[in-house]
Amino acid sequence: MEISIGRLSAETGVKVPTIRYYEQIGLMAKPPRSEGNQRKYDRAARERLRFIRHARDLGFPLEAVRELLSMSGAPGDPCAAADDIARRQLAEVELRIARLTALREELQRMLGQCAHGTISDCRVIEVLGNHDLCQHTHQADHRHDAA
């Protein structure tokens, strides 16, 4: 049974513009169109999109997803390359957890030193204005900040 892009979106939880983007970059094949020029997706497209969505939910970058998808097309091949990709992702997650743990500790320390006075003696403002007052070396992930 073929479905529209809107239904595919609803079934997979992937937004329509994201589905179109995946088609643009070749993660999803461009689907056939109906006589009314609507995209029509089959079961294989739904499964592929679910795979992509799950991989993205686990934080895999698009290039890793592309590699994993290509591997899934060769079920008899050894899985060492897929394991390597998953290990790299795990290492990245562990690094992010360590950064977030340091950030949490720094924020807790900052708030713990708060005297609840006025802005002129606010520890939060003071520490944010002088990184030397921090106990941890930390750098947030700014990849999602607007340019």
| 28, part of any domain | yes
Same domain for 58 and 97, yes or no, is no
Reported as a single tens digit per residue, the pLDDT across 91-137 is 999 999 999 999 899 888 888 877 777 777 777 777 778 777 777 66
Within-domain flag for 51: yes
Residues 6+ apart with CB under 8 A from 72: 51
The residue written with tokens 């169109």 in the block is 33
Q: Of 19, 53, 72, which marks where a domain is finished?
A: 72
Structure tokens at 111: 């708030």
- Low-confidence winner among 25-29, 33-37, 130-134 (lowest mean pLDDT): 130-134
27, 36, 38: which is closest to 2 by C-alpha?
A: 38
Virtual torsion, Cα 8, 39, 56, 65, nearest 10 deg: 140
Q: What is the pTM of this model?
A: 0.76
Do 86 and 62 share a structural domain?
A: no
Task: State the Cα–Cα distance between residues 82 and 84, nearest whole angstrom.
Answer: 5
Within a 10 A sphere around the Cβ of 114, how many other Cβ atoms?
11
pLDDT value of residue 143: 52
Identify the pLDDT of residue 138: 59
Are residues 61 and 88 both part of a single domain?
no
Indicate whether 41 belongs to any domain. yes
Q: How many domains does the chain have?
A: 2
The per-residue DSSP string of 35-55 comes to TTS-B-B-HHHHHHHHHHHHH
**Structural domain contains residue 49:** yes
Domain that holds residue 15: 5-72
Same structural domain, 63 and 100: no
